[in-house]
């Protein structure tokens, strides 16, 4: 019987609530399909600062590096905002240590759910894109210096860093609608000029069968909400991808719907795209679906369980279609009730099959 070791990093705010949803879904998949998932919970973020004075303790790192896959909730919160050690350093550290240079953030708006969008139905209905965000370079990892009246954040990218994430985007496009939109700010920023030159060279050398277009990040923000259906795979650097994916989450109606897979050359880490949502933490209001979609990607990409991934995705879709939703999507259910509905659906689908 297959046995998988999953490290769970609940973190802060709603992190523990959504991570618990992910564990419930994996347990249900295990029961139904006969797999054993062993869970090891570790500290990261604010709670790790509180308990260990370190946002990313060494034993967390060792466990993540040894796991078959990592499930993360979220980190951060106002409690830690005004101190030198920050929860977010833990998140950056796990991404760097595991070599997770590509963050895949899918977003789609099924026609039946387009009415939930704050945007016009005809604009968003059928939109289906994959944002590939570079995750271990750029401003978030550059040298930072600070005096009383001056602050510097270095933004560095190398050809190798750009090429490897662009390759992920081109490969993904070949399995989708064969189009890549590369987003930069090449009219102003030097790292963006290197980004664009590198993407063009790689495209010419290895991916000329894929349609490639370039967009500047400012107008891209506008195009994402005015003509989202024209995009397939979007590839961009770390900070632009962070911002554009939160923007894209508006299309289906809630940031709580979007999951992500962070991949590199080794094991993967899976987390919703949202943060720790301090405004709703501890109230069982958090939408678990972004985390559950991340778990589906874990099953598919790290554990090679594609039938199980499809079953989880189908269970999520059924519950969304039945309108069993949290308040962010106009529903009335608690987050834990949505998780229970999805778990019940996983069991019911197997019985019906």
Ligand X SMILES: CC(C)CC(=O)C(=O)O
Q: Which residues are catalytic?
A: 140, 185, 218, 242, 246
Please choose which of ligand X, ligand NAI, Mg ion, none residue 255 contacts, taking the beta carbon within 5 to 8 angstroms, the exact cut-off set by kind: ligand NAI
Q: Is 272 annotated as a binding residue?
A: no
Contact present, 134 and 161 (Cβ < 8 Å):
yes
**H or E stretch including 334?**
none
Neighbours of 256 (CB within 10 A): 28
Smallest separation (angstroms) from ligand X to the CB of 166: 20
Smallest separation (angstroms) from ligand NAI to the CB of 91: 5
Contact present, 167 and 202 (Cβ < 8 Å):
yes
Largest CA distance in the chain: 66
Candidates 7, 92, 168, 183; binder of ligand X (CB under 6 A) is 92
Residues of this chain, 217-276, that bind ligand NAI according to CB under 6 A: 255-256, 271, 274-276
Residues of this chain, 234-263, that bind Mg ion according to CB under 5 A: 242
Pick 134 or 242: Cβ nearer ligand X: 242
Candidates 134, 161, 184, 242; binder of ligand X (CB under 6 A) is 242
Contact present, 283 and 15 (Cβ < 8 Å):
no
3-state secondary structure at position 261: strand
Residues of this chain, 59-118, that bind ligand NAI according to CB under 6 A: 74-77, 88, 91
Partner residues linked to 9 by β-bridges: 72
Question: How do 233-236 and 102-108 pair as beta strands?
Answer: unpaired
Q: Put residue 6 in one of left, alpha, beta given phi > 0 → left and psi -120 to 50 → alpha.
A: beta
Q: Is 285 annotated as a binding residue?
A: yes
CB hemisphere CA count around 85 (13 angstroms): 15
Please choose which of Mg ion, ligand NAI, ligand X, none residue 92 contacts, taking the beta carbon within 5 to 8 angstroms, the exact cut-off set by kind: ligand X
Pick 75 or 315: Cβ nearer ligand X: 75
Smallest separation (angstroms) from ligand X to the CB of 179: 24
- Check binding of 134 to Mg ion (CB under 5 A): no
Contact present, 213 and 176 (Cβ < 8 Å):
no
Contact present, 124 and 251 (Cβ < 8 Å):
yes
Residues of this chain, 275-294, that bind ligand NAI according to CB under 6 A: 275-280, 286-287, 290
Binding region for ligand NAI (CB under 6 A)? 14, 74-77, 88, 91, 255-256, 271, 274-280, 286-287, 290, 328
Binding region for ligand X (CB under 6 A)? 88, 91-92, 242, 273
């Amino acid at each position: 019987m297959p046995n998988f070791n999953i490290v769970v990093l609940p973190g802060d705010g709603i992190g523990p609530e959504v991570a618990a949803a992910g564990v419930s879904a994996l347990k249900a998949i295990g029961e139904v399909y006969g797999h054993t998932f062993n869970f090891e919970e570790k500290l990261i973020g604010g709670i790790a600062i509180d308990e260990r004075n370190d946002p990313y303790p060494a034993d967390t790192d060792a466990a993540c590096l040894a796991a078959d896959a990592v499930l993360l909730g979220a980190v951060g919160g106002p409690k830690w905002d005004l101190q030198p050690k920050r929860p977010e350093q833990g998140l950056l550290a796990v991404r760097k240590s595991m070599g997770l240079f590509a963050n895949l953030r899918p977003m789609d708006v099924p026609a039946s759910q387009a009415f939930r969008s704050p945007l016009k139905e005809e604009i968003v209905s059928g939109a289906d894109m994959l944002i590939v965000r570079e995750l271990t370079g750029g401003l978030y990892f550059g040298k930072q210096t600070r005096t009383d009246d001056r602050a510097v954040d270095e933004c560095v990218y190398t050809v190798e860093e750009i090429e490897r994430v662009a390759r992920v985007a081109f490969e993904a496009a070949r399995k989708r609608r064969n189009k890549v939109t590369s987003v930069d700010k090449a009219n102003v920023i030097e790292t963006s000029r290197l980004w664009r030159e590198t993407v063009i060279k790689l495209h010419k050398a290895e991916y000329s069968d894929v349609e490639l277009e370039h967009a500047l990040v400012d107008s891209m923000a506008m195009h994402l909400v005015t003509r989202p259906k024209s995009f397939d795979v979007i590839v961009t650097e770390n900070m632009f991808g962070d911002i554009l994916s939160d923007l894209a989450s508006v299309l289906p109606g809630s940031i709580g719907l979007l999951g992500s897979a962070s991949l590199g050359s080794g094991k993967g880490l899976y987390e919703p795209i949202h943060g720790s949502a301090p405004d709703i933490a501890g109230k069982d209001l958090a939408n678990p679906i972004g985390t559950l979609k991340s778990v589906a990607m874990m099953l598919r990409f790290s554990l090679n369980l594609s039938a199980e991934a499809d079953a989880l995705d189908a269970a999520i879709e059924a519950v969304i279609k039945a309108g069993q939703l949290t308040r962010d999507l106009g529903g009335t259910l608690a987050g834990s009730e949505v998780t229970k509905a999805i778990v019940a659906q996983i069991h019911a689908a197997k019985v019906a099959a």
